[in-house]
């Protein structure tokens, strides 16, 4: 039975988080992508590479979570009359990336069709006794939950920082289906008016390089070398919770459980002790380099590489060295 | 991560204020190759130092705690981390106003600036305090706050700069290995850490609340429990916005509510010792990783603190009642407590080379570090810390159960009005004499010493009150009558008139035997111990500096067997001192539990003894010179009778196997009935009879702070054999008593009448003053204060003992004693005994 | 404006999470309990809206009697009444939780229901949304800025997503979930705490809020157990100390392919 996977697009490509969701979806059955974009805008080749066989291109005018959920509900076989019966792992499933949008749309979908929704899964596989065996993130990934989801339609999202994006071994052809959804005014009431964010710049969640600053930065002014280094490396600045509670930086830059979870190639943690809430946000980084005066700081234990020293001395020297190259 | 060295001269576990101070002082004393280990990060590894409120009140009733606090304060000042703020203890209850008089008087004894304030006076210094809810205050202007983390960092860095120290943070101690040394004693060998094993001859436990857990790795028990102290920080306080630095207003101790309020920058910290005792097992302290804030900042339990909030609001209604100020920080902070409230300093009794510098708070941390460094270096410590010795507790007082029960009981007394004779109730009775049932039947009121129950006086002696009416020195003031009875004085007079039976089974009895016994003990004792078997010798032990470290009697049982008898309070420490210094060929065995001791003294003691001695041994009674011991048959049991006395009367200490103690007591009791024999408690033995005779007690008059010469205890000759402290002792003698800085004297109180007409009785610790009310301080800076106080019913005076500057020590000199803020005339009465100074009664 | 804020009692975690021996729950013996940072912000936002526009704040939780601790905390921050939907403390599904909370909301006739975006423990990301369906009210989630225009009775809610600012406008009554950063929550004042201590908390048995007791256990979603992820500690290669380590650091950054 088909596994529907909500695909988010970013700059014309499939968002990294959605590639991860597609990878997880592929393990459950043939994947039909659902994208809210005109057929012409779809990155069909990329979808094919990730094993997608069908794409439902839903005509949409901006982001409207309830409307999007209704549109997906209408694709679910049997809905709203009777879900098809099926053996374990052979029932339909709907996946999305565990992004703000993915979780929101699937929660709406769960409410609409009256079924459970499992957020931020890191693994899913058919359970011997029926349904799916899931591993979910709790506490933003600091804990894992083993669970069984045994519903007529499995609704789940894939953790953005714990499932790897892996292309399919043997991509096949892709069928594109244009869909027009019938929507009520109530559904469209919750529609986002979009505008460029004030801060602008690269997104913390998707940046390739994040230069992190913590208590050790010492003040709002202390972030100047971090900004400079981030711009040299084409990355962005992220901060720990103490930095935002001190008012040194805006909350939008907070990395952690209650901030943003990041998945860069490099996280350069400067003067960050490594409280667990922060680790929850940066555990998805491919590589971590920590700069700290205290060799025994917890951040050091999470890092691949460590420099023991004062960031206020190391960063200017690093910047100079990079400029000299 | 720093690699652990494979060898160290000492491994110091714990980088809080004490560990940092310790490495600093060890480095100053020339130690090299030190390793400081902490499982947490630096500079705040997560122990109690990291969340301390960091203020220091200099006032303490205990001289030792006062001196440790004073030394620590001076060290903080030298490091530049001390800010003087002043501190005020406010009184809400009338009893507290009286207690403040005692506090300010004690401050005078130690030379600490202190004064009384009216409510308006308090308000002037602390404008946000509502003067209408208090009765007054005691102001201590030298109170201050410190940066203990900074102090620790500075001291650690000094040791590193001296090339003496390797610091391993983030390194956990996994085990402490021990092995038997050549004498068979267990000795510390190495510390196994997460960074490798470190061989070391010395291992120091200064890890605060974790100490019992770490000590157990080496098979040692440290009587310390983590206990919660709740603290909140409220801010921003509008009034503090304009102040600079950490503190601009005096710290307020709302002692009647067990709380304090202390400015900390823009916040007000409110701490409490009033909530229910919340004890945590050392094993349950979370790891640095699992802890929410730090391992010793446990989640705040708001319900416990709510009553204190109301009291704090009452005291500082506008400042703390500001709706814009919030509780920004609130913790159940873990602190260390011991059964008696003192730190645990020195080598632990179970393992050689394993040292404790635990249970020290911020206010005494640097001082404790210095003292332990000195002890480890074989030096005489700057501050006499025998009351904090890690060896002071017997095993039964080192148990977790006792530690927890006593800590729970003592917690709410932290800011309480604690009586000098305060009796605790938890886990009693623990150690009882074999005569306990008999003394209980006689209506004994028991006082606890070193977990022993000792009869203080006997209710069945109440009829004596009529007999001695008019001579009992009754105490109409409740404070002095608390934990006291006029029966004590009646028992005293009955003993002097007839005979008394004293249960002394709490004595610590140590047998030292073997071919090396004589040499071993000779090396410790000032007195000549090479006496014929059958003699008992009263002697002191000295340290290298000639300070007094023990005061006890030694019986020579045979050529190679000695029996040491010492007080219950001192026994554990004395045993450690002896065993630490015994040579090969001498064995120390603690036989305390095997022997009961009954004292029989008084003018009719001889007649009582005559009734019970076996016919065949009657002749021995008259051939029993003072200072001799003899095995005697009494009613079919065999007792070791020792002709000495601490009460100044003829008689014996009778040592009898514990299983036969009841039998002996009963025979003596029956025999004594025609001779006016009464049971006599420790109230007489330890205080009234002793003071009349001018006998010095260890810990009161006899301490390392004074010399035998000053104590007036020099003997006519010095033995030829060497002994510890001999060189110093010879020098002291050479200088002579006239050259001594101080002279120990007994003083009589000439008038007991206070301002309101009530007779009042000083109880100890009070300052002795010149007639103009000025403090007396000897040429070595030691103040004159009452070392012992008590009734002298036979002398007809309330008696005080005190070291006086030589210039005011002559008999007949008129001086003053200050008690509870009032001054009373006293006269130097004697340098020896005020009762029977020739000792004729004792010799019989 | 009458506002209902839904909060959840969760363990306080500051360091590594340890589990009970049976792996079914977080070991809370030494950690205590709190509400999630998002919810603290929800309470703060409610109190601010009421300070500006009048009305009152009711705080509700679904949990054991011990959860009164969290309700009193919210009362000390400025909520005026509190409701405990009493359970035996076992975990309930997002569906049941939403049903029970919606029952309280609908009985109270609130203009606005505020929640945290997700509970910090279970992280289900759906209770607010499910509530909105029970209440037939609009819902927006993850909100970082909230404005209310009294004259039009419209809410303006903002959030950011992938560098884009999203604005939602919706009429009351509505359900809004918020995220940390929407405000800086206040700390409880001492008078606030004492008011909270004296407040009477209404208790409602959970079974009176849902019509079908069998819903308390969900056959469709069963939690088998919890575990701490194995990954975590990496063994850091120390590149050196201070500026001396910079050349080596540059080399490593090159190796990682992040140099421009």
Q: Is the pLDDT of residue B739 over 70?
A: no
Partner residue opposite C30 with nearest CB, options B298, B300, B320? B298
CATH number of the domain bearing residue B816 = 2.40.30.110
Which residue out of B24, B25, B51, B229 is catalytically annotated?
B229
Question: What is the number of structural domains in chain B?
Answer: 4
Q: Is C37 on the interface with A (CB under 8 A)?
A: yes
B410-419, B594-603, C24-33: which has the minimum mean pLDDT?
A: C24-33
Residue B541 forms part of a structural domain: yes
Distance from CA of B299 to the nearest CA of A (A): 17
Span between the terminal Cα atoms of chain C, in Å? 54
Residues B112 and B158 in one domain: no
Residues B92 and B157 in one domain: no
pLDDT digits (tens, 9 = 90+) for B485-519: 999 999 999 999 999 999 999 999 999 999 999 99
Residues B833 and B756 in one domain: yes
User: In whole angstroms, what is the distance from residue B686 CA to residue B503 CA?
Assistant: 12
For residue B19 the two structure tokens come to 């560990």
| pLDDT for res B738 | 65
CB contact under 8 A, A273 and B41: yes
| Residue given tokens 């730190």 in the structure block | B343
Write out residues 141-170 of A within 8 Å (CB-CB) of C.
141-151, 157
Please say which residue of B593, B611, B634 terminates a domain. Answer: B593
| pLDDT for res A198 | 66
User: In whole angstroms, what is the distance from residue B398 CA to residue B385 CA?
Assistant: 18
For this structure, is B229 an active site residue? yes
Partner residue opposite C32 with nearest CB, options B299, B323, B324? B299
CB contact under 8 A, B326 and C189: yes
Residues in chain C: 260
Cβ(C129)–Cβ(C174) below 8 Å:
no
Q: Is the pLDDT of residue B252 over 90?
A: yes
Residues B216 and B328 in one domain: no
Backbone phi and psi for residue A44, each to the nearest 5 degrees, phi listed first: -60, -40
Q: Residue C48 CB: number of other CB atoms within 10 A?
A: 17
Interface list for chain C against chain B, based on CB atoms closer than 8 Å: 12-18, 29-33, 69, 72-73, 186-194, 197, 238
| pLDDT for res B288 | 85
Bridge-based pairing of strands B251-254 and B225-235 is unpaired
**Is the link from the previous residue into B429 a cis peptide, with omega within 30 of 0?**
yes
C235 vs A173, residue with greater confidence: A173
Q: Is A312 on the interface with C (CB under 8 A)?
A: no
Distance from CA of B150 to the nearest CA of C (A): 22
Residues B785 and B735 in one domain: yes
The count of C-alpha atoms lying within 13 angstroms of the C-alpha of C66, restricted to the half-sphere facing its C-beta, is 11
pLDDT digits (tens, 9 = 90+) for A3-58: 999 999 988 899 999 999 999 999 999 999 999 999 999 999 999 999 999 999 99
| pLDDT for res B668 | 97
A88-102, A216-230, B27-41: which has the minimum mean pLDDT?
A: A88-102
Confidence of residue A104 (pLDDT cuts 50, 70, 90): very high
Confidence of residue B377 (pLDDT cuts 50, 70, 90): very high
B259-273, B405-419, B613-627: which has the minimum mean pLDDT?
A: B613-627
Confidence of residue A257 (pLDDT cuts 50, 70, 90): confident
User: In whole angstroms, what is the distance from residue B386 CA to residue B381 CA?
Assistant: 10
User: In whole angstroms, what is the distance from residue C195 CA to residue C199 CA?
Assistant: 6
Report which of B665, B594, B589, B597 is spatially closest to residue B634, judged by C-alpha positions: B665
CB contact under 8 A, A289 and C15: no
10-residue stretch averages of pLDDT, chain C, 260 residues long: 97 85 89 94 98 97 97 97 96 95 95 97 97 96 95 93 90 96 94 95 94 80 91 74 92 89
- Domain that includes residue B785, residue range: 719-840
| pLDDT for res B293 | 86
pLDDT digits (tens, 9 = 90+) for B23-78: 999 999 999 999 999 999 888 999 999 999 999 999 999 999 999 999 999 999 99
Q: Is the pLDDT of residue A190 over 90?
A: no
Residues B775 and B825 in one domain: yes
Mean of all residue pLDDT scores within chain A? 90
Angle at which helix B365-376 crosses helix B63-79, to 10 degrees, equals 100
Report the residue of chain A nearest B289, measured CA to CA: A298
User: In whole angstroms, what is the distance from residue A57 CA to residue A179 CA?
Assistant: 6
Residue B672 forms part of a structural domain: no
CATH number of the domain bearing residue B545 = 3.30.70.1400
| pLDDT for res A87 | 64
Residues B251 and B301 in one domain: yes
Domains of chain A: 3-189 (3.40.50.620), 209-324 (3.40.50.1220)
Q: Is the pLDDT of residue A181 over 70?
A: yes
Residue B605 forms part of a structural domain: no
Residues B21 and B32 in one domain: yes
The subunits that touch chain B, with at least 3 C-beta pairs less than 8 Å apart, are A, C
* Strand runs labelled E in B520-670: 536-542, 548-558, 561-566, 587-590, 595-601, 629-634, 637-642, 651-657
Which chain A residues are closer than 8 Å to B171 by Cβ? 296
Please say which residue of B307, B335, B363 terminates a domain. Answer: B335
Residues in chain B: 844
Residues 6+ apart with CB under 8 A from A325: C250, C259
CB contact under 8 A, A295 and B40: no
Which chain B residues are closer than 8 Å to A298 by Cβ? 289
For this structure, is B249 an active site residue? no
Cβ(C59)–Cβ(C71) below 8 Å:
yes
| Residue given tokens 């196997």 in the structure block | B657
pLDDT digits (tens, 9 = 90+) for A235-255: 999 999 999 988 899 888 999
Compute the average pLDDT of residues B586-596: 97
Residue B234 forms part of a structural domain: yes
Cβ(B167)–Cβ(B34) below 8 Å:
no
Which chain C residues are closer than 8 Å to A139 by Cβ? 13, 17, 120-121, 123
Alpha helices in B531-623 (DSSP H): 568-581, 605-612, 619-622
CB contact under 8 A, B290 and C18: yes
Residues B325 and B230 in one domain: yes
| Residue given tokens 């500690």 in the structure block | C233
CB contact under 8 A, A296 and B171: yes
Where residue C58 falls (left for φ over 0; alpha for ψ -120 to 50; beta otherwise) is beta
Structure pTM? 0.91
Report the residue of chain C nearest A145, measured CA to CA: C226
CB contact under 8 A, C122 and A138: yes
Question: Which helix (DSSP H) or strand (DSSP E) does residue B500 occupy?
Answer: strand B499-503
Residues B730 and B803 in one domain: yes
Residue B327 forms part of a structural domain: yes
Domains of chain C: 2-216 (3.40.50.620)
Residue B811 forms part of a structural domain: yes
CA of C107: how far to CAs of B339, C70, C111, C209, in Å? 57, 22, 12, 10
Which chain B residues are closer than 8 Å to C30 by Cβ? 284-286, 290-292, 298-299
Confidence of residue B385 (pLDDT cuts 50, 70, 90): very high
For residue A251 the two structure tokens come to 């909350």
CB contact under 8 A, C163 and A197: yes
Confidence of residue A267 (pLDDT cuts 50, 70, 90): very high
Q: What is the DSSP letter of A53?
A: E
Residues in chain A: 325
Residues B212 and B247 in one domain: no
Distance from CA of A86 to the nearest CA of B (A): 45
DSSP string, B160-202: HHTT-EEEETT--EEEEEEEE-TTS-EEEEEEEETTEEEEEEE
Which chain B residues are closer than 8 Å to C192 by Cβ? 323, 326
CB contact under 8 A, B1 and A295: yes
B166 vs B184, residue with greater confidence: B166
B737 vs B194, residue with greater confidence: B194
Q: Is the pLDDT of residue A201 over 60?
A: no
Residue B163 forms part of a structural domain: yes
Please say which residue of B593, B608, B625 terminates a domain. Answer: B593
| pLDDT for res B2 | 65
Which chain B residues are closer than 8 Å to C73 by Cβ? 302
Cβ(C192)–Cβ(C207) below 8 Å:
no
Q: Is the pLDDT of residue A200 over 50?
A: no
Which residue out of B503, B551, B574, B778 is catalytically annotated?
B551
DSSP string, C19-40: B-TTSSSB--TTT-EE--HHHH
Q: Is B326 on the interface with A (CB under 8 A)?
A: no
For this structure, is B492 an active site residue? no
Report which of B806, B809, B823 is spatially closest to residue B772, judged by C-alpha positions: B823
CATH number of the domain bearing residue B120 = 3.30.9.10
Mean of all residue pLDDT scores within chain B? 95
Residues B124 and B164 in one domain: no
Write out residues 253-312 of A within 8 Å (CB-CB) of B.
273, 294-298
Cβ(C4)–Cβ(C141) below 8 Å:
no
CATH number of the domain bearing residue B28 = 3.50.50.60
Residue B358 forms part of a structural domain: yes
Which residue out of B76, B260, B446, B458 is catalytically annotated?
B260
Q: Residue B63 CB: number of other CB atoms within 10 A?
A: 20
């Amino acid at each position: 039975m088909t596994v529907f996977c909500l695909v988010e697009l970013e700059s014309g490509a499939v968002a990294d988080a959605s590639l991860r969701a597609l990878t997880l979806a592929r393990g459950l059955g043939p994947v039909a992508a659902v994208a809210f974009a005109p057929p012409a805008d779809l990155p069909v080749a990329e979808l094919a590479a990730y094993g997608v066989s069908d794409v439902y291109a839903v005509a949409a005018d901006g982001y409207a979570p309830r409307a999007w959920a209704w549109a997906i509900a209408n694709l679910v076989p049997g809905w709203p009359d009777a879900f098809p019966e099926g053996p374990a792992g052979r029932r339909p499933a709907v996946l999305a990336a565990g992004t703000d949008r993915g979780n929101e749309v699937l929660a709406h979908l769960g409410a609409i069709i009256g079924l459970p929704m499992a957020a931020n899964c890191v693994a899913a596989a058919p359970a011997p006794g029926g349904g799916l065996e899931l591993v979910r993130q709790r506490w933003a990934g600091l804990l894992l939950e083993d669970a069984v989801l045994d519903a007529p339609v499995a609704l789940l999202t894939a953790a953005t920082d714990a499932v790897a994006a892996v292309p399919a071994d043997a991509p096949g052809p892709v069928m594109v289906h244009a869909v027009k959804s019938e929507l009520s005014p109530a559904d469209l009431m919750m529609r986002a008016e979009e505008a460029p964010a004030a801060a602008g710049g690269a997104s913390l969640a998707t940046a390739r390089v994040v230069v992190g600053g913590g208590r050790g930065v010492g003040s709002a002014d202390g972030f100047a070398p971090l900004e400079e280094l981030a711009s040299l490396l084409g990355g962005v600045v992220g901060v720990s919770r103490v930095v935002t509670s001190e008012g040194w930086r805006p909350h939008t830059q907070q990395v952690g459980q209650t901030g943003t979870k990041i998945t860069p190639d490099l996280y350069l943690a400067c003067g960050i002790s490594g409280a667990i809430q922060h680790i929850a946000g940066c555990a998805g980084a491919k590589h971590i380099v920590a700069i700290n005066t205290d060799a025994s700081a917890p951040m050091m234990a999470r890092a691949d590489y460590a420099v023991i020293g004062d960031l206020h001395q190391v960063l200017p020297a690093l910047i100079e060295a990079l400029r000299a190259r | 991560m720093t690699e652990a060295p494979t060898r160290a001269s000492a491994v110091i576990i714990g980088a809080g204020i004490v560990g940092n101070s310790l490495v600093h002082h060890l480095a100053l004393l020339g130690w090299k190759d030190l390793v400081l280990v902490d499982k947490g990060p630096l500079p705040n590894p997560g122990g109690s130092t990291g969340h301390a409120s960091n203020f220091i009140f200099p006032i303490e009733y205990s001289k030792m705690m006062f001196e440790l606090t004073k030394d620590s304060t001076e060290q903080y000042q030298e490091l530049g981390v001390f800010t003087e703020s002043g501190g005020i203890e406010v009184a809400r209850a009338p009893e507290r106003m009286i207690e403040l008089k005692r506090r300010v008087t004690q401050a005078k004894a130690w030379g600490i600036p202190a004064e009384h304030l009216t409510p308006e006076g308090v308000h002037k210094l602390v404008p946000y305090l509502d003067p209408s809810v208090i009765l007054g205050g005691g102001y201590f202007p030298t109170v201050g706050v410190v940066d203990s983390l900074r102090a620790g960092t500075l001291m650690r860095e000094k040791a590193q700069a001296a090339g003496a120290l390797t610091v391993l943070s983030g390194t956990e101690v996994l085990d402490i290995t021990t092995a038997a040394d050549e004498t068979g004693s267990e000795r510390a060998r190495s510390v196994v850490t997460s960074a490798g094993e470190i061989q070391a001859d010395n291992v120091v436990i200064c890890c605060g609340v974790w100490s019992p857990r770490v000590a157990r790795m080496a098979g040692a028990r440290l009587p310390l429990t983590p206990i919660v102290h709740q603290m909140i920080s409220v801010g921003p306080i509008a009034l503090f916005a304009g102040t600079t630095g950490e503190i601009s207003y005096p710290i307020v101790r709302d002692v009647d509510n067990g709380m304090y309020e202390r400015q900390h920058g823009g916040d007000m910290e409110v701490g409490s010792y009033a909530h229910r005792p919340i004890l945590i097992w050392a094993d349950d302290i979370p790891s640095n990783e699992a802890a929410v804030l730090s391992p010793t900042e446990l989640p705040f339990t708001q319900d416990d603190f709510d009553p204190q909030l109301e009291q704090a609001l009452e005291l500082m209604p506008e400042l703390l009642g500001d709706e814009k100020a919030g509780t920004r920080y609130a913790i159940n902070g873990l602190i260390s407590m011991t059964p008696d409230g003192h730190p645990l300093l020195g080598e632990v009794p179970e393992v050689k080379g394993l040292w404790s510098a635990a249970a020290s708070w911020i206010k005494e941390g640097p001082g404790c570090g210095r003292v332990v460094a000195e002890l480890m270096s074989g030096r005489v410590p700057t501050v006499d810390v025998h009351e904090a010795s890690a060896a002071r507790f017997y095993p039964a007082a080192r148990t977790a159960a006792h530690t927890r029960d006593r800590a729970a009981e003592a917690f709410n007394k932290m800011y309480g009005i604690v009586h000098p004779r305060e009796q605790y109730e938890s886990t009693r009775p623990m150690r009882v004499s074999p005569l306990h049932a008999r003394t209980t039947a006689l209506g004994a009121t028991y006082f606890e010493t070193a977990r022993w129950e000792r009869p203080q006086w006997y209710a069945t002696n109440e009829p004596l009150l009529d007999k001695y009416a008019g001579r009992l020195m009754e105490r109409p003031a409740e404070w002095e009558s608390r934990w006291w009875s006029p029966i004590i004085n009646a028992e005293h007079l009955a003993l002097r008139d007839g005979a008394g039976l004293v249960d002394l089974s709490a004595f610590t009895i140590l047998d030292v035997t073997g071919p090396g016994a004589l040499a071993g003990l000779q090396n410790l004792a000032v007195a000549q111990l090479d006496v014929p078997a059958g003699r008992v010798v009263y002697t002191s032990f000295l340290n290298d500096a000639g300070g007094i470290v023990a005061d006890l009697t030694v019986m020579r049982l045979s050529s190679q067997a000695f029996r040491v008898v010492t007080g219950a309070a001192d026994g554990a420490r004395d045993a450690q001192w002896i065993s630490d210094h015994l040579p090969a060929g001498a064995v120390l065995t603690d036989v305390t539990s095997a022997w009961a001791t009954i004292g029989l003294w008084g003018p009719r003691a001889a007649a009582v003894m005559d009734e019970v001695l076996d016919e065949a041994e009657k002749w021995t009674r008259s051939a029993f010179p003072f200072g001799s011991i003899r095995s005697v048959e009494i009613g079919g049991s065999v007792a070791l009778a020792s002709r000495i006395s601490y009460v100044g009367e003829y008689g014996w200490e009778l040592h009898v196997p514990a299983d036969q103690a009841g039998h002996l007591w009963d025979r003596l009791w029956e025999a004594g009935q025609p001779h006016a024999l009464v049971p006599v408690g420790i109230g007489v033995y330890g205080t009234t009879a002793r003071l009349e005779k001018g006998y010095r007690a260890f810990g009161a008059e006899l301490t390392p702070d004074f010399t035998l010469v000053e104590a007036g205890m020099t003997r006519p000759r010095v033995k030829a054999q060497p002994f510890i402290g001999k060189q110093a002792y010879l020098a002291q003698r050479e200088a002579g008593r006239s050259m001594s800085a101080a002279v120990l004297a007994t003083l009589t109180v000439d008038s007991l009448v206070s301002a309101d007409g009530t007779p009042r009785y000083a109880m100890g610790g009070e300052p002795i003053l010149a007639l103009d009310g000025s403090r007396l301080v000897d040429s070595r800076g030691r103040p004159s204060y009452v070392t012992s106080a008590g009734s002298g019913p036979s002398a007809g005076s309330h008696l005080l003992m005190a070291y006086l500057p030589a210039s005011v020590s002559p008999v007949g000199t008129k001086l003053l004693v200050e008690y509870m803020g009032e001054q009373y005339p006293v006269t130097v009465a004697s340098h020896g005994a005020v009762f029977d100074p020739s000792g004729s009664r004792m010799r019989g | 404006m009458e506002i209902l804020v839904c909060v959840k009692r969760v363990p306080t975690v500051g360091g590594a999470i340890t589990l009970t021996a049976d792996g079914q729950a977080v070991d809370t013996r030494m950690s205590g309990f709190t509400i999630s940072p998002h919810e603290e912000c929800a309470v703060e936002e409610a109190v601010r809206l009421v300070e500006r526009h009048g009305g009152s704040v009711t705080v509700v939780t679904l949990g054991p009697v011990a959860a009164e601790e969290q309700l009193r905390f919210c009362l000390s921050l400025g909520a005026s009444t509190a409701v405990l939907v009493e359970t035996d403390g076992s975990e309930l599904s997002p569906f049941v939780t939403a049903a029970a909370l919606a029952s309280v909301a609908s009985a109270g006739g609130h203009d606005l229901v505020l929640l945290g975006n997700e509970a910090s423990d279970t992280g289900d990301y759906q209770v607010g949304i499910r509530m909105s369906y029970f209440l037939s009210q609009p819902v927006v989630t993850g909100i970082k800025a909230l404005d209310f225009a009294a004259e039009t009775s419209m809410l303006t809610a903002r959030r950011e997503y992938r560098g884009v600012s999203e604005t939602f406008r919706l009429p009351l009554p509505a359900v809004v979930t918020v995220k940390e950063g929407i405000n800086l929550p206040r700390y409880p004042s001492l008078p606030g705490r004492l008011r909270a201590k004296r407040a009477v908390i209404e208790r409602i048995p959970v079974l009176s809020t849902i019509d079908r007791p069998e819903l308390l256990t969900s056959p469709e979603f069963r939690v088998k157990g919890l575990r701490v992820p194995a990954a975590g500690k990496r063994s850091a290669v120390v590149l050196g100390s201070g500026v001396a380590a910079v050349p080596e650091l540059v080399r490593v950054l090159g190796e990682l392919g992040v140099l421009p």
